[in-house]
Structure 1
Amino acid sequence: MVDRYTTLVIDDEKSARDRIIRLTKHFPDTFEIIGEAPNGTIGLEMIENLQPDLIFLDIQMPGLSGFELLERMTAAPLVIFCTAYDEYALKAFEANGIDYLLKPLQLNRLTQTVAKLEQVSTSTISKKELLDVLKDLQQQPQEKKATSFTIKKGDRMVLLKIADILYFEASEKYAYIYDNKGNKHLTEQSLIQISKSLPDSFIRIHRSLMVNFDHVTEVQKYFNRRFVIHLDGKEPLKLISARSAYEQIKEKINI
């Protein structure tokens, strides 16, 4: 076992990389972040050049996937997978002593990873075992994250980019979408349905509100374990979070 793991973070989603790096700061005696890569190709080059002890690795990436990266690398770091695969499909990882983190990464789950690292040596997992397990998981269906929403406008269907959405507001069985141009749209999906296909930047701050933190400009503490969330857009606005979202928001903004 090493006392402090030199660590690379390899994921094509910047928000996912930022989240991993932010949460590893809670364990300065375990992780030493020495770099991050936005795709598998750059990640492979950094692995070979920097020879890290450990990598956080996304499975599904455009270009060079996590599976292809493992096939090509000659170094042998410990691998912690960051994935949207469900927990049932990932039981195989545990059987091989491999750890995994479901997206979005949670601090309590990373705490378990740190405890596991204290018992793991770099010789416990062979490259073949990694590839065999990952090959099985490649057969598992993975839900795709939406990049846009289809909005009905009279007899037209309009595509609204996820990146332009400020927040969703529940309205009985449906939801309203508020974009950064000051528009309000109605979708026939519920918040529960919508949340299954959203990226990590979206947080449910209230039973009826789901906010895109990529558009958050300021977060202020409010009374009774709540926050005032400031959003950008055509006209700046403020939303109040529920007490139930306190810990999740606190973790998101790293306080």
Structure 2
Amino acid sequence: MFTTLLIDDEPIALGRLKRLLAQFDDLIEVVDEALNGLEGIQKIETLRPNLLFLDIEMPQMTGFEMLSRLSYMPMVVFVTAYDQYAIKAFEENSIDYLLKPVEKERLAKTMDKLRNLRPEQEPTLSQESLRQLIGSMVPKKEMHSISVKSGDKILFVPLSDISFFQAEDKYVLLNTVDNKQYLMNYTITSLEEKLPSNFVRVSRSTIVNSTKIREMERYFTGKYMIVMLDQKQTKIESGSTYQENVKRLMEF
């Protein structure tokens, strides 16, 4: 039996989903409902359900944002109005989804999938897969430069001049191909979400510009040493948990 929390800002949609789930009372026990992300966080942390049925587009806080703030991660079935192209991201991350309005036949397929899982099983949506999912679903704005402070001036550094970004302690440094460095106010995670797709995170602390890589060589335990095209030919070691991202570099 999966203890289940329903989260949707539309009471009508919540009521419909609850009625449909009542037909699967041998598998699903709806323990509560929430009408927004903040309420959802509070109830998840208190009730610690096995499963969420989660709306994505909610005011103040999206379903993605709500998940990123959790200390406890249940299994998730997204309820979404995204189109078929965007839904590919859900499939690649092994996360189930339901298109609005939820149909009985499609819900039954979700139930069949759940019957092959255990309520206490580790969820497929880890923090890392959540990060990848958000990156897949949220289109990045077109950017040509990024602003940095230099004394009393604001400089606009063209993205084409950037070799890599690297976090050091609480700061992030922008490194250019001519080996200039600028201190930034962004976190490495916020930069990852902001930058276009040719900027790839290869470790917890580093994002590289894939167009500024000279070569890559295999390193220890599945890692790679990435040599950049900057004047110093900086060497960057990839992180063991970022192997999928490193594979992406080989596809550019």
Scaled by the length of structure 2, the TM-score of the pair is 0.52
> 1:23·1:107 contact (CA, 8 Å) conserved in 2?
yes
Percent sequence identity over matched residues?
Answer: 46
Corresponding letter in the other structure for 2:24: F
Q: Which secondary structure does the structure 1 equivalent of 2:24 belong to?
A: coil
Alignment partners' CA distance in 1, 2:54 and 2:107: 14
> 2:27·2:115 contact (CA, 8 Å) conserved in 1?
no
Alignment partners' CA distance in 2, 1:116 and 1:100: 11
Corresponding letter in the other structure for 2:95: I
Alignment partners' CA distance in 2, 1:133 and 1:120: 22
Alignment partners' CA distance in 2, 1:58 and 1:129: 18
Q: Cα deviations across residues 170-202 of structure 1 (Å, max 9, x unaligned)?
A: xxxxxxxxxxxxxxxxxxxxxxxxxxxxxxxxx
Q: Which residue of structure 1 lines up, in the alignment, with residue 176 of structure 2?
A: none
Q: Which residue of structure 2 lines up, in the alignment, with residue 134 of structure 1?
A: 134
> 2:73·2:123 contact (CA, 8 Å) conserved in 1?
no
Q: Which residue of structure 2 lines up, in the alignment, with residue 9 of structure 1?
A: 6
Q: Which secondary structure does the structure 2 equivalent of 1:76 belong to?
A: coil
Alignment partners' CA distance in 2, 1:117 and 1:130: 20
Q: Which secondary structure does the structure 2 equivalent of 1:75 belong to?
A: coil
Alignment partners' CA distance in 2, 1:124 and 1:55: 11
Q: Which residue of structure 1 lines up, in the alignment, with residue 77 of structure 2?
A: 80
Supply the RMSD in Å over aligned alpha carbons. Answer: 1.8
Deviation at 1:135, TM superposition (A): 3.1
Q: Which residue of structure 2 lines up, in the alignment, with residue 47 of structure 1?
A: 44
Query: Does the alignment pair 1:97 with 2:94?
Result: yes
> 2:75·2:123 contact (CA, 8 Å) conserved in 1?
no
> 2:52·2:76 contact (CA, 8 Å) conserved in 1?
yes
Corresponding letter in the other structure for 1:133: L
Q: 1:124 to 1:70 in 2, by over 3 A?
A: closer
Alignment partners' CA distance in 2, 1:109 and 1:91: 16
Q: Which secondary structure does the structure 2 equivalent of 1:136 belong to?
A: helix
Q: Which residue of structure 1 lines up, in the alignment, with residue 31 of structure 2?
A: 34
Q: Cα deviations across residues 73-94 of structure 1 (Å, max 9, x unaligned)?
A: 0112000000100122112211
Q: Which residue of structure 1 lines up, in the alignment, with residue 149 of structure 2?
A: none
Mapping of residues 242-253 of structure 1, within 5 Å: none
Alignment partners' CA distance in 2, 1:38 and 1:49: 16
Structure 1 consecutive aligned stretches of length 4 or more whose deviation exceeds 6 Å:
none
Alignment partners' CA distance in 1, 2:32 and 2:77: 15
Deviation at 1:27, TM superposition (A): 0.4
Q: Which secondary structure does the structure 2 equivalent of 1:114 belong to?
A: helix
Alignment partners' CA distance in 2, 1:18 and 1:79: 19
Corresponding letter in the other structure for 1:139: P
Alignment partners' CA distance in 2, 1:84 and 1:36: 20
For structure 2, the 5+ residue unaligned runs are 141-252
For structure 1, the 5+ residue unaligned runs are 141-255
Out of 119-128 and 90-99, give the one that drifted further. Answer: 119-128
More helix, by proportion = 2
> 1:11·1:38 contact (CA, 8 Å) conserved in 2?
yes
Deviation at 1:124, TM superposition (A): 4.9
Alignment partners' CA distance in 2, 1:80 and 1:16: 15
Deviation at 1:116, TM superposition (A): 0.9
Alignment partners' CA distance in 2, 1:108 and 1:87: 18
Q: Which secondary structure does the structure 2 equivalent of 1:89 belong to?
A: helix
Q: Which residue of structure 2 lines up, in the alignment, with residue 123 of structure 1?
A: 122
What is the aligned counterpart of 1:112 among 96, 105, 109? 109
> 2:5·2:31 contact (CA, 8 Å) conserved in 1?
yes
Scaled by the length of structure 1, the TM-score of the pair is 0.51
Larger Cα-atom Rg:
2
